[in-house]
Amino acid sequence: MSDKMKKLALGIKIKQKELCLLALNEYPIGTIVDVEINAHQAVRIEIKGHNDNWWHGAGEMFGVNIETEKLRKFNPIDDATIIVTRPA
């Protein structure tokens, strides 16, 4: 692998780890968020956990739809828009 590729791969790895930490800090367990998942109508979700795998699904969060109690998994970087956040 070239030095340029190694440097880029290291940069990606660092950013993925940063994204995991940011999700933990900005959306701690118990936080209530209104989320549009896949551009559908917003649902209210209580955050119950975060993906620990920085190498796959970095920033992914797990929660429960407050109305239906359905478990939801979403990643704001690719399929969700967090509209409103209410502190834990």
Helix (H) or strand (E) holding 24: helix 3-26
CA-wise closest residue to 30 among 44, 46, 43, 50: 46
Lowest-pLDDT choice from 41-45, 60-64, 84-88? 84-88
Helix (H) or strand (E) holding 8: helix 3-26
Q: Which residue has the tokens 């796959």?
A: 56
Which CATH number is 75's domain given?
2.30.30
The number of domains in the chain is 1
DSSP string, 67-82: TT--EEEE-TTTTEEE
Containing structural domain, residue 56? 3-86
* pLDDT (tens digit per residue) in 7-49: 999 999 999 999 999 999 999 999 999 988 877 788 999 999 9
- pTM beyond 0.85: the answer is no
Q: Is a pLDDT exceeding 90 seen at residue 82?
A: no
The per-residue pLDDT for 60 is: 94
